[in-house]
């Protein structure tokens, strides 16, 4: 999201889809004129409203809504953001004004690969391919302005953090500590680096889409 401020204008009206607690959107205040964060989970919207300072309350608002059926009129926003949430290309393009930008950061299919590997034989994972998603925007008449892929080292500093991660993240099957004790011990062994941390990878895509004028 470091690139995002450079893509926004101080007058822009911005939508952040799947805003969660709104933390990222709030850090971008100053790069846009006004913004709405939308999330399907009412508890997240409550948190986001608590997170926004009173100085920003007139600039950023939060509302419950589904990425697949956005509660906004056509061509409402100058820019739409999405970081790690559900992307519905047709809905996203509908709410963008002509010439508006959609800026999407999503998790790549190879993310945290060595953490998933020990459980891969137990089930399959249905991950959205960012390249196919970009193709869907092209099919809607949009241009892809940027398409960047990142695959960098990611370290967990202690066993508790690694364990928390494999229990919280999407896996072929949910990790059960007692049943999977051997797999977990093997994972700790195979991912521990000389620095004592547990190493994996972070696979991300950044896509910037422009709606035709």
> Which residues in this chain contact ligand SAM in the complex, by CB under 6 A?
17-20, 23-24, 39-41, 44, 66-68, 83-86
CB-CB neighbours of 119 under 10 Å? 18
Of 66 and 183, nearer to ligand SAM (C-beta) is 66
Task: Write out the H or E segment, with its range, that includes residue 44.
Answer: helix 42-51
- Minimum distance of ligand SAM from residue 25's CB (angstroms): 8
- Minimum distance of ligand SAM from residue 70's CB (angstroms): 8
Helix, strand, coil percentages for the chain (3-state, nearest 5): 35, 30, 35
Of 94 and 192, nearer to ligand SAM (C-beta) is 94
Of 40 and 173, nearer to ligand SAM (C-beta) is 40
Helix 181-191 × helix 159-168 angle, to 10°: 120
CB-CB neighbours of 42 under 10 Å? 10
Of 152 and 213, nearer to ligand SAM (C-beta) is 152
Of 20 and 118, nearer to ligand SAM (C-beta) is 20
- Minimum distance of ligand SAM from residue 41's CB (angstroms): 4
- Minimum distance of ligand SAM from residue 87's CB (angstroms): 9
- Minimum distance of ligand SAM from residue 146's CB (angstroms): 18
SS3 state at 199 = strand
Q: Are 67 and 44 in contact (CB under 8 A)?
A: no
Question: What is residue 120's DSSP assignment?
Answer: G
Which pair of tokens denotes residue 78? 């100058």
């Amino acid at each position: 999201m470091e690139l995002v401020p450079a893509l926004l204008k101080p007058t822009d009206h911005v939508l952040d889809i799947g805003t969660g607690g709104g933390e990222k959107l709030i850090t971008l205040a100053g790069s846009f004129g006004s913004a709405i964060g939308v999330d399907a989970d009412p508890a997240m919207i409550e948190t986001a409203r608590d997170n926004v300072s009173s100085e920003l309350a007139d600039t950023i608002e939060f509302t419950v809504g589904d990425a697949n059926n956005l509660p906004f009129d056509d061509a409402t926003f100058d820019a739409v953001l999405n970081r790690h949430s559900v992307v519905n290309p047709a809905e996203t393009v509908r709410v963008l004004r002509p010439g508006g930008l959609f800026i999407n950061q999503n998790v790549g299919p190879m993310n945290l690969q060595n953490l998933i590997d020990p459980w891969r034989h137990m089930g399959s994972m249905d991950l959205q391919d960012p390249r196919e998603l970009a193709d869907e925007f092209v099919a809607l008449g949009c241009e892809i302005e940027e398409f960047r892929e990142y695959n960098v080292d990611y370290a967990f500093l202690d066993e508790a953090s690694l364990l928390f991660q494999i229990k919280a993240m999407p896996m072929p099957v949910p990790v059960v500590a007692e049943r999977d004790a051997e797999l977990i011990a093997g994972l700790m062994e195979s991912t521990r680096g000389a620095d004592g941390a547990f190493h994996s990878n972070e696979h991300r895509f950044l896509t910037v889409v422009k709606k035709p004028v």
